Amino acid sequence: MPTRAKKLEALYNCGLMVGQNPWYAFLFGYLVGQVDRVHFVRDLTGAEIAINLDFRSRRIWPSEPFRATVRGITMPNTYALVRSMVSSDAPICLQVDFDSSEDTPWYQEVVLPGVSYIKDASEAAQEESDALWKEMDHTLDIYRECKALLEEARPERRRELEYYMRLAEEQMRKLSAQMDELNKHMKRISEHEPQD
């Protein structure tokens, strides 16, 4: 799955293509704020929120520069689109067409073949959750071991063990905060995962 930083870079670069257009600036400002929900895809089939932006200058047939639907309803402009997206937590699927997009590394790094590939986000989140639980177990083991040794330790050794216990407590606080954030992220994914 593309990283948050890569998606932000892609949104920034796409934003540069539209120049000073206030409607697009409004849209891209919103998308940057919702980057965790944004997914670049080649095929929008099955997307609850589908946005197609066409910035190609070399084209045989004319095409609309902006097309978007939310739950099958066509959005007339970016303002209506953002208003509709605000009341939803669904993944935002974005298809961007521009000259040489096939050969542009920053775009190819973030684009997924289709909506079904967004499911991989839940697998990645589950792997991250498993890794966090493993690290929490390891940190707890260290804490318990230090506590058990503390009762029979000499004074100079006690200071060292207390130091390691404080480190373990701090690490547990950090891991708990990461786990809380991940759980919120997994909840958002599971609520809006595309169904088979």
Do the domain assignments include residue 52? yes
Domain span including residue 171:
122-191
Do the domain assignments include residue 117? no
Domain count, the chain: 2
Q: Are residues 79 and 142 in the same domain?
A: no
Among 110, 136, 153, residue at a domain's last position: 110
Q: Are residues 86 and 27 in the same domain?
A: yes
What CATH number does residue 20 fall under? 3.40.1530.30
Do the domain assignments include residue 92? yes
**How many Å separate Cα 14 from the centre of its chain?**
18
Q: Are residues 21 and 89 in the same domain?
A: yes
Do the domain assignments include residue 48? yes
Q: Are residues 98 and 38 in the same domain?
A: yes
Radius of gyration for the alpha carbons in the chain, expressed in angstroms and rounded = 23
What CATH number does residue 174 fall under? 1.20.58
**Do 34 and 94 form a contact (C-beta atoms < 8 A)?**
no
Closest CA relative to residue 68, chosen from 55, 79, 57: 79
* End-to-end CA separation in angstroms for the chain: 20
3-state SS, one letter per residue, for 132-151: HHHHHHHHHHHHHHHHHHHC
Each residue's pLDDT, cut to its tens digit, for the chain (196 residues) gives 678 889 999 999 988 888 788 889 899 999 999 998 999 999 999 899 999 998 887 655 556 789 999 999 999 999 999 999 998 888 999 999 888 888 889 998 899 888 877 755 666 667 777 888 899 999 999 889 988 888 888 888 888 889 999 999 999 999 888 888 777 766 665 554 444 4
pTM for the full predicted model: 0.60
Do the domain assignments include residue 27? yes
Is 113 strand, coil or helix?
strand
